[in-house]
Homo-oligomer: A and B are copies of this chain.
Amino acid sequence: MKYSSETVERAIQELSKLPGVGRKSAQRHVFYLLKAPTEQVLALSRVIEELKHRVRYCSVCHNITEQDPCYICTSEKRNRGLICVVEEPNDILAIEKTGEYHGLYHVLGGVLSPLDGVGPDDLRIKELLSRLDADVKEVIVATNPNTEGEATALYLVRILKPMGIKVSRIARGIPVGSDLEYADESTLSRALEGRIEM
């Protein structure tokens, strides 16, 4: 059953392509937009178009940016001896939020995942290697602490260590504010393993 308006139908179809949006939510969005002020709807339409025209990837670290290289890569305040390797651009935001990291970044664009057909050549590993000049003292691997993220971290260690570069991995352990009781075993064993002298 389709809507009497072909445009409404098409809008539902296009919105359903967004991650986690089914036909029902897309329908709600469309009815919301039909009632919303024209200005707001046009602003949404325009900014979606601009995403494709204005936003690009930094040619150095592959973070999203509107100027190339991005503001982190060009900043004079960042420690150029430190490169933090992440899976996706949004991981950079998460780390920047801490305010604790002042080095550079490198976005891999995913993780090794043989089942999904993602091999080393599909990630920006060559691009990482080309950035490793004498200035770089340490590479911090901040891929997610799941199977693929760990495998990718190990892969990077195996390449980078023989090059004489210090490679570190973000700590896995009990999240701040949570409860030992509810931690799963592998997290807890990682937390014990990674204990720090006080």
Contacts and interface: CB of A to CB of B under 8 A. Distances in A.
Interface of A: 1, 3-8, 10-11, 14-15, 17-21, 25, 27-34, 36, 38, 40-52, 54-55, 63-66, 70-72, 88-90, 93, 96-97
Contact of A55 (B8, B36, B46, B48): B8
B48 A44 contact: yes
Given A33-B51, A48-B11, A51-B30, A72 B19 contact: no
Contacts of A43: 14
29 contacts: A5-B55, A5-B64, A5-B66, A7-B50, A7-B54, A7-B55, A7-B66, A8-B55, A10-B50, A11-B47, A14-B44, A17-B36, A17-B44, A18-B33, A19-B29, A19-B32, A20-B25, A27-B90, A31-B88, A31-B90, A33-B48, A33-B51, A33-B52, A34-B51, A34-B55, A34-B64, A41-B48, A41-B49, A45-B49
A17 B196 CA distance: 45
Secondary structure at the A interface, as helix, strand, loop or mixed, is: helix
A103 to B, nearest CB: 16
Nearest to A50: B7
Contacts of A34: 51, 55, 64
B51 A48 contact: no
